[in-house]
Amino acid sequence: MLRASSSLLPPVSSAPSLLTLIPSLNFSSSPLSEPFFTSSPVKFSLLHHQTMLSKKALLGTPDLPRRFYSSSFKGIPPMAGIHQFCPRGLTASFSAGSGGSESLSGSTAGREILVQHLLVREDDLKLLLELQKRITQGEDISDLAVEYSICPSKEEGGMLGWVRKGQMVPEFEEAAFSASLNNVVKCKTKFGWHLLQVLSEREESILEEIAPAELHEKMQDPSFLDEAQLIDVREPEEVAKASLPSFQVLPLRQFGNWGPEIATRFDPQKDTYVMCHHGVRSLQVAMWLQTQGFRRVFNVSGGIHQYALKADQSVPTY
């Protein structure tokens, strides 16, 4: 899982840091647990671009905890409606670890799972056993997470979001990907004891970068503009300087207004393209959209700045 780090590269000009926009982005939050994600789900090299956070910043230092979701960038909090994915009142059974004939879909390659969990300290076995018993008696793991979990994800009922192989610490990953649906699994990591539940599974979503020239070519096709969803996350004063047709403006500073409505304003099943000034803020939003169930998300590489330089020089630069 990701660890926060102060070793961030300087932000690109005119690209405000997410840390200044959303109050919940406190890198010195609860000291109770470290993150569980170990690597980024992003499939392209933009994470290594000099304008993005450094790899060290993404992997981080050992003492600063973050919530865990299926995105490796922890900048944007989950939608208020994330629990729409969480079936309530499930009958839970228990497993002490991984394995079993009813594990998820055989092979986990190319799969994502929706996971919630709670975490207790390693030496708090009495509480662990009590919670196991209460779950088997019908109590919901998300309710117990809110009350008892020492992980910051308790604020979302222990919801971790959609995760894939290679993102979590090995012990947690093995237990989660070997669990059968709705089965509550117990596992131990260096953070303590976990009770985790896999709620659903799906084909792995796509997050890729798209070159400005390729996007420009696509935009000449009217059918593309009818079918694709185009999002510009720059601020209004930036859009006034330069803009592209058909892009809907969702200013990142106003995330609190549009974030909870994202799945109703846009179709998660459609191709979604995200743009900003230099491609950094848009990548953050693109990664967050993945966690909200958007199946195919494309980040405009280099943002509108590179689009103006390489694809359409009639677009102003600033």
CB atoms within 10 A of CB 43: 12
Q: Is the dihedral of CA 93, 97, 102, 106 positive or negative?
A: positive
Beta partners for 298?
A: 208, 273
CA distances from 142 to 85, 86, 148 (A): 12, 9, 10
Rounded Cα–Cα distance for residues 249 and 277 (Å)? 12
Side chain identity, residue 290: Q
CA distances from 53 to 2, 45, 49, 303 (A): 12, 12, 8, 16
For the chain, the farthest-separated pair of C-alpha atoms sits apart, in whole angstroms, at 68
Rounded Cα–Cα distance for residues 26 and 29 (Å)? 6
Q: How far is CA 208 from the centre of its chain?
A: 14
Rounded Cα–Cα distance for residues 190 and 169 (Å)? 9
Q: How far is CA 14 from the centre of its chain?
A: 24
User: What are the helix (H) ranges across the chain?
Assistant: 55-59, 125-136, 141-148, 170-178, 212-219, 222-227, 236-239, 255-258, 262-265, 280-291, 303-310
Measured at the alpha carbon of residue 255, what is the angle toward residues 73 and 318, in degrees to the nearest 5? 85
276 is catalytic: yes
Q: Which H/E stretch holds residue 231?
A: strand 229-232
**Where in the sequence numbering do the catalytic residues fall?**
276
